[in-house]
Chain A
Amino acid sequence: MKDSVERQPQELQILKMSKNKKILIIEDEKSLARALELKLANAGLEAKAVFNGEDGIKLLQKESFDLILLDLIMPKMDGFTVLAVLKAKKVKTPVMVLTNLSQDNDIKRTKEFGAKEFFIKSNTPIKTIVEKIVRLLK
């Protein structure tokens, strides 16, 4: 872990290649949404954050994004519903689930709804998440 958080310069270079890609963060925990925004911005990626599923769906109707980072437990509309709506609306934007739920059933459900990735936030360094995003956006 210690050495994994120190390799920032290389990471930045990789990320700079993914310029002009837009990422939507749907996350009710503002400090975490902010951390993601900052990290992605530092990596040269444009990110917008909304704090519940409903606002996320609304924004998706107005703007197009290259990737959605989606929390599951949220007020107004939870992540499962967002996935269901996206599936129903045939939105093809890849979704990466970032949650602190880790039950097998939760993981299975999001995969069934078409989520591409599933990360448990407390167990995953933010660097790993950004790396994964870059790979997905390539």
Chain B
Amino acid sequence: MKLQKTNISASVNIAEKLEVLAKEKENARRKLVVTARQLAVTAKEKESVRLKLEVTARQLAVTAKEKESVRLKLEVTARQLAVTAKEKESTRRKLEVTARQLKRLHETLEKKVFERTKDLEQTRAKNEAILASIGDGLVVVDKEGKISYINKSFEEMLGWKTEEIIGKSMVEVVPREDINGVEVSFKERILTLVLSGQKFVADLTNPFYYIRKDKSRFPASSIVAPVILNGKIVGAVEVFRDIMKEKEIDKAKTEFVSLASHQLRTPLSTVSWYSEMLLAGDAGEVTHDQKKYLEEIYHGNQRMVDLVNTLLDVSRIELGTLIIESKPTNIVKLAQSVIDEQRLQINEKKIKFSPSFETDIPLMQSDPKLLRMVIQNLLSNAVKYTRDGGRIGISIFLDNKNNVFLKISDTGYGIPKNQQDKIFTKLFRADNVIGKDTEGTGLGLYIAKSIVEQSGGEIWFESIENKRTIFYVTLPLEKTRKKNGAKTPH
């Protein structure tokens, strides 16, 4: 038992000690708990910080990435910038070159423009000089007929100065009178007709009078042509001429023709009369051979006489100095006399001749001398150009329009197709007869046509080479247009 007691005391000590220890342990545990709690808190804080840090880190990472991307972008931009800079430089250089080229081009252009301007100026000056120096009067009008240009001859001929007349109506300022001295109305003026498109180009064949500023007048002829731009008439140009000089020249020509014919005919008359007298035995008997030779001389001379006569006819027709003296004429009788004249040749060539005349053809108003020339030329051609034994017909009848119809047909050489359009031309002779007949002058048909047309008639033909030719003439029964010896007004 003692042991127990000791043990118990020891045990109490120990217990006490254990208690203290437990207390201390508890303290320590508490402290540890606190610490643990504190630690936990710290850990939590740490964790939160860590988390925060993690976020930050993540954020930082993102930023970094962004930064990297920005950097990359920047790098790219920088590179691009570098390239752009290079391009800029190259472009600048190119521009510089272009600028230089442009400058050169500009200089060239300037030079060319200068040259062209000079050319144009020269042309303009030349045109101006041409227009100014033209001997004919010239006027340019706009589409309303207002004068926009006149030349020097216009000023001289009509007595108007440019500054007085520009912008005024040509038709109103410069009156025109016809051959009979009657003023031509606004509507009938050629300029009006041309501007309105009713007439294209007026010809020179109708002479008239222009009235000057001082009311005096002069004979003139003119040509008016429209100025057309994009198919529209925008004005007209008129050129006119004082034909006083022409009239004088005409007169001089007529006098020359008259004199020349006189001079040519005098020796022809001598040859004609003396050979005729020899043939008639006025200087004693001639032998058979002498007579034959004399006849050759007489015949040759006669041809020369005929030629001179024909030439005179032509010049008179052309000069208009033929006086047409119309009177009631019996065309059938006239034709008969022409036939009588040709009868010898017709018989000699054994030509079958068939005239046919309508019975009651009234007398026609015509110049018998000229009408005779027409029939004579046509019939003598038919006789000349028909082979021996051929046929010739002549007929005269009235058509239903009061025209006298003359038809002369033959079965002769004909007119070659390719020369038919030239047959009425002065001095033209068809190839196929030149060799066969040396006596033609190439004037007969020209004369016939001139007369027929001056008489208000028509002439035409049909022909087949080596087969037949038919000439037709129609003439108005009523009257031959009066033409009083001159083509210019009095």
Given contacts A1-B298, A1-B302, A126-B277, contact A73 B270 (CB under 8 A): no
Please report whether the interface of chain B is mostly helix, strand, loop or mixed according to DSSP: helix
Residue of B nearest to A108 (CB): B323
- Closest Cβ of chain B to A118, distance in Å, is 13
Q: Are B265 and A122 in contact (CB under 8 A)?
A: yes
Interface residues of A (CB under 8 A from B): 1-2, 5-6, 8, 29, 31-32, 35, 38-39, 42, 73, 99-106, 108, 120-123, 125-127
* B280 near A8: Cβ-Cβ < 8 Å: yes
Q: Number of contact residues on B: which range applies?
A: 20 to 34
Are B282 and A105 touching (Cβ within 8 A)? no
Q: Which residues of B are interface residues toward A (Cβ below 8 A)?
A: 254, 258-259, 261-262, 265-266, 268-270, 272-274, 276-277, 279-282, 295, 298-299, 302, 305, 308-309, 312, 316, 321-323, 485
When the two chains form their complex, are residues B282 and A122 in contact, meaning their CB atoms are under 8 A apart?
no
Q: How many A-B residue pairs have CB under 8 A?
A: 84
Q: Which 8 A-B pairs have the closest CB atoms?
A: A100-B265, A122-B265, A121-B269, A104-B323, A122-B268, A126-B273, A122-B269, A35-B273
Residue of B nearest to A121 (CB): B269
7 further contact pairs, Cβ within 8 A, besides A8-B282, A35-B273:
A1-B298, A6-B280, A99-B262, A105-B485, A108-B323, A120-B265, A123-B305
Q: Which single residue of chain A is at the shortest CB-CB distance from B259?
A: A73
B282 touches A42 (CB 8 A): yes
Query: A29: which of B266, B280, B312 is its contact (CB, 8 Å)?
Result: B266
CB < 8 Å neighbour of B282 from A31, A38, A121, A123: A38
Closest to B305 in A: A122
CB contact under 8 A between A103 and B280, given known A1-B298, A121-B265? no
Residues of chain A contacted by B261 (CB below 8 angstroms):
100-102
Chain A CB within 10 Å, residue with most, of B254, B268, B277: B277
Query: What are 16 A-B residue pairs whose CB atoms fall within 8 Å in the complex?
Result: A6-B280, A35-B274, A39-B277, A100-B265, A101-B262, A103-B254, A103-B258, A104-B322, A105-B321, A105-B485, A121-B265, A121-B266, A122-B272, A122-B308, A125-B276, A126-B273
